[in-house]
Structure 1
Amino acid sequence: MDTDPDTAPAATPYGTPAAPRLAVRGEAHLEVDPEIARIGITVHARGTDRRDALNDLTRRNTTVLDLIKTYGEAVEKIESGAFSISPELTKHGRGERIRAYHGRVHTTAELTDFTALGELTTRLADLDLTRVEGPWWALRADSPIHRRARQQAVREAVQRAREYAEALGTGLAALVELADLGADNAPAQGYGGFAGGMRSAVAYGGAPDLTEAPPLDLEPQRQHVYAQVNARFTMTPPELRP
């Protein structure tokens, strides 16, 4: 006999004696090596003439970009960020006049070769009026590690539910609901933070150093990936004995 969906009894969210429900949480925590490292490079320029300051900034920025590009496939991405050139005012009698112009441009580089990373950061920091920050370690957004964590959380939920059912002398009947609680709950900034004792390095000119600085030894920071799911199952009715 067909059942009219308009007159069928509503399913109870808490199960029934004939179909008990079981709710569990599955969790996963993976600790893995990073896949990429990001560094930030800020180039500065200063001059008494606005055009000269701008030309100097352009030249220094081109030097930085050309240096980064020499590392070929080790560099996965280069992005130019904020640019500014602004006057520095000074008091002159009763008014103000422009004393100098300050310019800066910011670039972000993303590398996959961590050996090249140490050499590149050293060479960039050795440039005049150049500031280097980082590295920030991270996994790619589409990294299979995130999928591994989610799948492991689901398997853990199923295993936990089976153990509860077995404790009652019964087994699972069906999956009712699977809810994602934020599988990729990696640290904000997703980059893992600073490592290798290097946060920033900056060169402000002076006499040229004819000896090249040795590459920085940067130790990649391990990444923590978390996944959590809520799962609800129905069980075969257990035979509860006193």
Structure 2
Amino acid sequence: MRSPSAGAPCVTHPPADALTDPQSIKGFLDPEEGAALVRYAVATAGLGPFLEIGGYCGKSALYLGTAAKAAGTRLFSIDHHRGSEEHQPGEEYFDPELYDEVAGAVDTLPAFRRNIYAAGLEPWVIAMVGKSADIAAYWSTPLGFVFIDGGHSMTAAQADYDGWAMKVAPGGILAIHDVFPNPEDGGRPPYEIWKQAVASKQYEPVERIRTLEVLRRL
């Protein structure tokens, strides 16, 4: 996973134009990738609601929430909000601003909720707090768009793919973030599940935008 924008705070009170400037929110999504999420999500209007795995502070939810508003649907944002492996104390991307001293654990949910509220997207973004696999086990609604950007261990990425890839409606979109074909560029698990999607014959690759791979369900 790439580092957040240098010096970007996990904004407690985003500026009034946060809806059009999601880069004011701490996160790991390039603006070009965010624009692609909006474009592809809106194109699936009518196939089902949108879903993302990995809400963090809400950067991708601002993009996809904007798309949900335009498409007249909802974005369901799944995250346990305790941080991925690399966000824990002592790890590379640990952020003390997101550490709850009372709970003794990372907690990104308050920042996520503040940012979605400040952007005016609460009616279109529904936060689901829990593990992706646990929620997937009880989910039956076909989805128009799924964005996988959760934990980057093989166990976490595999669980996200296994839980959600086949819940995308035919013609819908599966987007996977932080896909690095060259192992020298980054972790392999997102690339491995991308390969599984292609090999399944259930998906066809559509476009690569930086580290974002977009696939269409056949």
The answer, yes or no, to whether TM exceeds 0.5 is: no
TM band (smaller chain): under 0.3
* TM-score, normalised relative to structure 2: 0.24
Greater fraction of residues in helix = 2
Q: Decide which structure has the larger Cα Rg and report it.
A: 1
TM-score (norm 1): 0.22
* Larger strand proportion of the pair: 1
